[in-house]
Amino acid sequence: MTKDFNPNSAAQNDAGIFGLPFGPEESQIIIIPVPWEVTVSYGSGTANGPEEVLDASMQVDLYHHDFPELWKKGIYMDKLPESLIKLSETLRPEAEKIIDAIMDGKDVEKDPGLQIAYKTVNKGCEEMITWVKTQVEHWKNQGKIVGLLGGDHSTPLGYLQYLGEKNSEFGVLVLDAHYDLRNAYEGFKYSHASIFYNALEMVPQISKLVQVGIRDYCEEEKNYAVKQGNRVVTYFDREVRKSQFTGKTWDQICKEIVNNLPQKVYVSVDIDGFDPKLCPNTGTPVAGGLEYEEGMHLFNVLKASGKEIIGFDLNEVAPGDTDWNGNVGARILYHLCGLASK
């Protein structure tokens, strides 16, 4: 099938992600789409992120500046899971009832109906987490490099749980505007704002959580991070900029970031870790953040370090009036594939 494929031609309608002709058997890299946004509490649309990135990926030229042979390794995006889409759509109104009640100042703990809604949402989120873990295991058992494409940022927990069962220790590098260290934000155990609280509590094999781009967080999260000691290392966006303003180079900072990580590394990217001009329709955009090339340089420094990339995700891409968000997301995803490729 690849014999007659011309990487310089326009993508065909029946092509896979990035216009590639590969099936799963021929691909080194498998992308699992997780169209999920049950507990989002501000902007919506991230459940459509995987499809948006898939559509925009057809416009990405395959000759990557840093990984020119990347396309030849094969990249395949699994089918959009209809059951998960339906589950997300079913649970979202239940979560919205709770969120609306909280915003109206109601005591949700004393409302029996809302307590039932909480149980329904939490149970459904557990189903998603189990589904992700099962899908990751399916492809990993076939020797594939696996990337996850969300959805809101709650989606990687099942992947991290799988990695915890397979590794004695590993680190997580996160690009994000937010700490995501809240304990059951708005009462949702598996909130998108609780992903790394849950990961640290449920996956003891995570020996280091290194977060970059953080610029929007609450006191609870800061206190929790401090209590973790050396297990959590945070590169606050403002402090990074101060260092640059006084003469430290981004390359020096990137090498410092990477040196904090153990040999095995999982990379988690919330697109709002980047400047919101790159992702204006993401659910919770925050002023500041990484420029595109700053993010790519950090990935390249990590690649050059020789550390083993054991998985990755990209989350919180949401459609807008144009395909700009998907366009940027697709290019970040392609670079992540290069980062993880062997």
DSSP string computed for 102-122: HHTT--GGG-HHHHHHHHHHH
Q: What is the distance between the alpha carbons of residues 260 and 193, in angstroms, rounded to a whole number?
A: 24
pLDDT by residue for the chain (342 residues), tens only, comes to 566 899 999 998 889 999 999 999 999 999 999 999 999 877 788 999 999 999 999 999 999 999 999 999 999 999 999 999 999 999 999 999 999 999 999 999 899 999 999 999 999 999 999 999 999 999 999 999 999 999 999 999 999 999 999 999 999 999 999 999 999 999 999 999 999 999 999 999 999 999 999 999 999 999 999 999 999 999 999 999 999 999 999 999 999 999 999 999 999 999 999 999 999 999 899 999 999 999 999 999 999 999 999 999 999 999 988 899 999 999 999 999 999 998
CA nearest neighbour of 196 among 184, 208, 179:
179
Across the beta sheet with 206-214, the strand order is: 75-77, 29-34, 145-150, 308-315, 264-270, 170-175, 206-214, 232-236
Determine whether 103 is exposed, middle or buried from the number of CB atoms within 10 Å of its CB (0-12, 13-18, 19+).
exposed
pLDDT of residue 200: 98
Whole-structure pTM over 0.75, yes or no? Answer: yes
pLDDT of residue 172: 98
pLDDT of residue 14: 84
CA nearest neighbour of 330 among 144, 136, 80, 58:
58
Residues in the chain: 342
Beta bridge partners of 308: 264
pLDDT of residue 66: 97
- Could you give all domains of the chain from N- to C-terminal order, each with its CATH number? 17-340 (3.40.800.10)
